[in-house]
Structure 1
């Protein structure tokens, strides 16, 4: 079974997909290209249109992701996207979408980020936005609420939005813009009271309501906006643009869709290449030498768990693959450890891109309206567990390198894991759905520190976590958890077991050597039964989550995690009849491959 999966991956990795782009970002890419007068190949436009229409809901609208009901945000953005891609206003799918949008009161109820993009597209007035107070970027960094303390993504989205607001960046009016003004609103565009729309958010779009402090801040900022100092505003615009240019140089742009427009606005169509910024701290970046980014090297935004997992993978490849002769220089691994140790938070755990800089109170100032828990780079069980596994493996390879610091980091990270475990034994996962995902990482953390089952017994944390997972095993032997678990912060059972969650649960149980092998065999059998003839597994439901309302589509999850699971099971339980069947099928397949028949 695993051999067929690896064969499938080796074939499918050669194709290029837009697999993980959220629907929201897809629409902004199209709006950015339209505004910057960038043409896409005809075949790309055709496939993008096909994809967007394939996700249209029965009521004619769209949500932000596949599990969400239709919203003003999702419907407005997808509507504009399919119009940009060439569908006329009388096309049946466009008419259905327009009817849906009008039933919701039109595009006026779109959340803050949507208002910004509509204003850029000349489909909304900048007067209909609460002022983000662009001058805040000129204030000292010790000021509470300074953008330098935000989570990196929140910081750079705020940066781009503030620049666009301060400069009133707007595309030229043309025939499509004029038509869209008539299509997406119930009212006549020229009669809309724009200031009255600043806090108008459609109920289904609101995932993070304004706090009274945020409303008070907006009232103050809006008043200042009426009388702001021109010279002060120009300084703020210059500072924001310098920050944006620095991000483009440091990485391949956190907010490339915004940056394309801003660069064209500021520098024209032939934007010059600027010099490297003098230092990363000036631009609120963290040291990154030795770290690994979320995607490719050019991205340059290192992540704690990516660094730890990559470091451990490099060491494992060298240890397990004797044919690899070109080993990584030890100093490169030392650099990775250096950056990991620099990212530890005061609670002992690890965040994603940076150390946590701001207080949780910053969430009170969250103005996104569609996302929650996005202002601060919080500490996560996933990142903490990956760091622990990476450092533990490194310590075995290099026992004398920063030994005391690594030991202290591991002990404090384990205590963080203890502190974050819920009463039912689970951990909340923030980057996958949800308690199944988090509990897998929690168990891996304890396992790497030696806390596993011995003689049928384990420590209380491991025992409770395993009891939690086993209690959620479904009748068919698999596991399935709804995306809504992440939103409501409580476990919600799926009606159908899911491949990715079955794999996560099994990996967690096997990590601590859960003694009831029958529980494991039932789950493994689900993976075996659902594998297709070409080696893949069905896509299943949403596997990833962020900010309570966002999702990403990682197509590889349904392949990678079952392979991990089957490999671990056959290695740990080779005498199991299920494992013997897997090994037998695998060896037969291998012989056929060598003989050229498969």
Structure 2
């Protein structure tokens, strides 16, 4: 796996509007940004901004169309344009995030997609990426998911990928591996993938296009497909290879019954036009699996699965990209909270409309996978997406319910908040923390199985999600939530890095984690003068940049020793830092004033902010995201909170 960080830019490079002739005053900036945020609201009250990933996703969409022989030529052309325009001029390939280093897996998929589209393999842009791939060991060094795709396209033998048998749906919970032991995203990907693997699915590939030129050794002769990264991974590797040799001995009737069970499992969770797990990789495998199982093009399952994928595509002029998922609940919760902070009457009205929309999205009936191990717990969470009833999200639930509680002046949200409190408390892990979707998902040895070279098979408790739950429990929980709150705070104490910050699992990176924790503690009315908290404050002050902003690169997921550094200042990270310092009760200090000035200087003509940097990991070091809403609501929230502080009003 390549390590790296963003290309170094001088402070201020890459931001539109970074050097205006004069800074707007605070009231003017708040008015412009508030109006822009209100204007972005949809008619039914919710907000949603696009969620962008690396070029793996558009490449996979093209490859899926050729797998199924259902090629939309117009869409394919737009996806290819998007991919070409994001090829890195420095290294010739594609990175995992803007400014990142070469990634072999992303580059192999992008190259293959462009070749399928019709790009000449000898054209300069294709030759450059091919040279870069070969210089980095060739396609044999790509990750498991890329090798699975290559096996489906008959470019490598099936022995080059780990065994992913449909029998995994039969494994009991007492076994070292079972579906309940891995994260929801792993479950929803692995089960349809196990169907494809067990049937040895083969891409239609109507043009017969291949990429054997990307291998340094002929794929049939290659013996080094599986990386070994620990003593445990070596043991699992040999165990998996033994299973691979024994697999052909399985009776066909047993294998086909396993395939039927696996298909039933994921068809039950197809989730209509929101898609399996409401995430792109699971939806692709589900759609391909339905085709391999023989479902006709007009079958409702296949129609729904196809539409779910098409709904993810964002088109802009002559280019397009699929979103890895959509984020309306998260965006609406954060936008509504931001407008609550501004104090404007029209902003409160807009926030109320957003919260009314959110109240209707609470999951009150569906008992999802989280029910295993929680038989007496009633549903009460929210999803991240429009619809994902099997997989409510603790992060979203805490954020939404906290906002509902803050605006519940007439009791309209009382039942929803009570349900959410009960569900959140019930999802607390034994160590006091909270994961994003599951409780006690801490079987860390599973990240050493050959399939898990991405290192993100699990959903263990994290500081950022736990901090959101701390805020909610502290604000709305009452005395009955105090034990859960204290256990969660103890988890945060233990999770703190020696130098003071917290790791950001769901936002980049230590600045995000530290903001999440400090704000969560402040909302829970914790004593912010405690030494461990002040250590985090000192760290945050110490990583402020000379221009007054804060900026941290996604490269810190590879190089944690550079925590809080590695990128030019960004509006969204500067906002997190300002909010964190205000939450810590720092008052009118130079660091906050400089951060506010940075935000005022860099507000764009439309009243909002912009920045090219990716804002969060989907899976750290493997898959990164750009939440386009983060530069719209977080800077406004920081400015509004700062003004409330100056007026002596405190936080909302």
TM over 0.5: yes
Q: Aligned pair 1:263/2:335, yes or no?
A: no
Residue 551 of structure 1 aligns to a residue in which SS? strand
Q: Pick closer, same or farther for the CA change 1:559–1:38 going to 2, 3 Å.
A: same
Tell whether the 8 Å contact from 1:244 to 1:259 is kept in structure 2 after alignment.
Answer: yes
For 1:305 and 1:530, locate their aligned partners in 2 and report how far apart those are by CA, in whole Å: 29
Residue matched to 1:322: none
For 2:230 and 2:386, locate their aligned partners in 1 and report how far apart those are by CA, in whole Å: 32
Residue matched to 1:233: 255
Instruction: Identify the match of residue 252 of structure 1 among 254, 259, 275.
Output: 275
Residue matched to 1:99: 131
Instruction: Identify the match of residue 539 of structure 2 among 468, 473, 478.
Output: 468
Residue matched to 1:330: 414
Tell whether the 8 Å contact from 2:69 to 2:204 is kept in structure 1 after alignment.
Answer: no
Q: Aligned pair 1:537/2:609, yes or no?
A: yes
Deviations 1:323-354 (A, max 9, x none): xx8x6353222222222122100011110011
Residue matched to 2:634: 561
Residue 94 of structure 2 aligns to a residue in which SS? coil
Displacement, 1:540?
4.2
With structure 2 as the length reference, what TM-score do the two structures score? 0.77
Displacement, 1:153?
1.2
Q: Pick closer, same or farther for the CA change 1:249–1:483 going to 2, 3 Å.
A: closer
Residue matched to 1:591: none
Tell whether the 8 Å contact from 2:383 to 2:391 is kept in structure 1 after alignment.
Answer: yes
Deviations 1:66-115 (A, max 9, x none): 34322331111111222334434344323333333344454233221111
Deviations 1:39-80 (A, max 9, x none): 4362x4343222211110123221333343223311111112
Residue matched to 1:430: 505
For 1:110 and 1:411, locate their aligned partners in 2 and report how far apart those are by CA, in whole Å: 44
Tell whether the 8 Å contact from 1:252 to 1:300 is kept in structure 2 after alignment.
Answer: no
Residue matched to 1:221: 243
Aligned pairs (5 A) from 1:573-592: 573-574=646-647
Q: Which has the larger displacement, 564-573 or 552-561?
A: 552-561
For 2:648 and 2:429, locate their aligned partners in 1 and report how far apart those are by CA, in whole Å: 43
Residue matched to 1:593: none
Deviations 1:208-247 (A, max 9, x none): 9971222122222122124233232222212211122122
Q: Aligned pair 1:295/2:371, yes or no?
A: no
Residue 569 of structure 2 aligns to a residue in which SS? strand
Q: Aligned pair 1:54/2:78, yes or no?
A: no
For 1:504 and 1:565, locate their aligned partners in 2 and report how far apart those are by CA, in whole Å: 7
Residue matched to 1:180: 210
Query: Highest CA radius of gyration, 1 or 2?
Result: 1
Q: Which has the larger displacement, 307-316 or 66-75?
A: 66-75
Instruction: Identify the match of residue 168 of structure 1 among 184, 200, 203.
Output: 200
Q: Aligned pair 1:365/2:449, yes or no?
A: yes
Deviations 1:144-170 (A, max 9, x none): 222321111122222233221111011
Q: Which has the larger displacement, 527-536 or 105-114?
A: 105-114
Residue matched to 1:146: 178
Tell whether the 8 Å contact from 1:288 to 1:302 is kept in structure 2 after alignment.
Answer: no
Tell whether the 8 Å contact from 1:55 to 1:62 is kept in structure 2 after alignment.
Answer: yes
For 1:41 and 1:16, locate their aligned partners in 2 and report how far apart those are by CA, in whole Å: 28
Instruction: Identify the match of residue 463 of structure 2 among 381, 401, 405.
Output: 381
Deviations 1:165-216 (A, max 9, x none): 11101123532x2x324554456xxx642673542x6xxxx98997122212
Tell whether the 8 Å contact from 2:367 to 2:379 is kept in structure 1 after alignment.
Answer: no
Displacement, 1:488?
2.9
Q: Pick closer, same or farther for the CA change 1:39–1:485 going to 2, 3 Å.
A: same
Aligned length: 545
Q: Pick closer, same or farther for the CA change 1:96–1:193 going to 2, 3 Å.
A: same
For 1:20 and 1:553, locate their aligned partners in 2 and report how far apart those are by CA, in whole Å: 5
Residue matched to 1:518: 590
Residue matched to 1:346: 430
Tell whether the 8 Å contact from 1:430 to 1:486 is kept in structure 2 after alignment.
Answer: no
Q: Pick closer, same or farther for the CA change 1:383–1:208 going to 2, 3 Å.
A: farther
Over aligned residues, Cα RMSD in angstroms? 3.1
Q: Pick closer, same or farther for the CA change 1:420–1:53 going to 2, 3 Å.
A: same
Instruction: Identify the match of residue 114 of structure 2 among 55, 78, 82.
Output: 82
Instruction: Identify the match of residue 396 of structure 2 among 282, 300, 306.
Output: 306
Tell whether the 8 Å contact from 1:32 to 1:258 is kept in structure 2 after alignment.
Answer: no
Q: Pick closer, same or farther for the CA change 1:224–1:193 going to 2, 3 Å.
A: same
For 1:304 and 1:63, locate their aligned partners in 2 and report how far apart those are by CA, in whole Å: 30
Displacement, 1:258?
0.9
Q: Pick closer, same or farther for the CA change 1:273–1:93 going to 2, 3 Å.
A: closer
Q: Pick closer, same or farther for the CA change 1:508–1:486 going to 2, 3 Å.
A: same
With structure 1 as the length reference, what TM-score do the two structures score? 0.83
Instruction: Identify the match of residue 506 of structure 1 among 578, 581, 586.
Output: 578
For 2:516 and 2:187, locate their aligned partners in 1 and report how far apart those are by CA, in whole Å: 28
Tell whether the 8 Å contact from 2:518 to 2:583 is kept in structure 1 after alignment.
Answer: yes
Give unpaired runs (5+ residues) of structure 2. 1-28, 303-364
Q: Pick closer, same or farther for the CA change 1:142–1:210 going to 2, 3 Å.
A: closer
Displacement, 1:272?
4.1
For 1:85 and 1:288, locate their aligned partners in 2 and report how far apart those are by CA, in whole Å: 49
Q: Pick closer, same or farther for the CA change 1:64–1:281 going to 2, 3 Å.
A: closer
Tell whether the 8 Å contact from 1:312 to 1:390 is kept in structure 2 after alignment.
Answer: yes
Tell whether the 8 Å contact from 1:452 to 1:512 is kept in structure 2 after alignment.
Answer: no
Residue 350 of structure 1 aligns to a residue in which SS? coil
Tell whether the 8 Å contact from 1:133 to 1:221 is kept in structure 2 after alignment.
Answer: no
Residue 122 of structure 1 aligns to a residue in which SS? coil
For 2:62 and 2:287, locate their aligned partners in 1 and report how far apart those are by CA, in whole Å: 12
Deviations 1:305-337 (A, max 9, x none): 101111122233344xxxxx8x63532222222
Deviations 1:497-546 (A, max 9, x none): 22222111111110121145222111100111111222122314232124
Q: Aligned pair 1:3/2:31, yes or no?
A: yes
Q: Pick closer, same or farther for the CA change 1:530–1:561 going to 2, 3 Å.
A: same
Tell whether the 8 Å contact from 1:503 to 1:562 is kept in structure 2 after alignment.
Answer: yes
Q: Which has the larger displacement, 519-528 or 230-239?
A: 230-239
Tell whether the 8 Å contact from 2:432 to 2:484 is kept in structure 1 after alignment.
Answer: yes
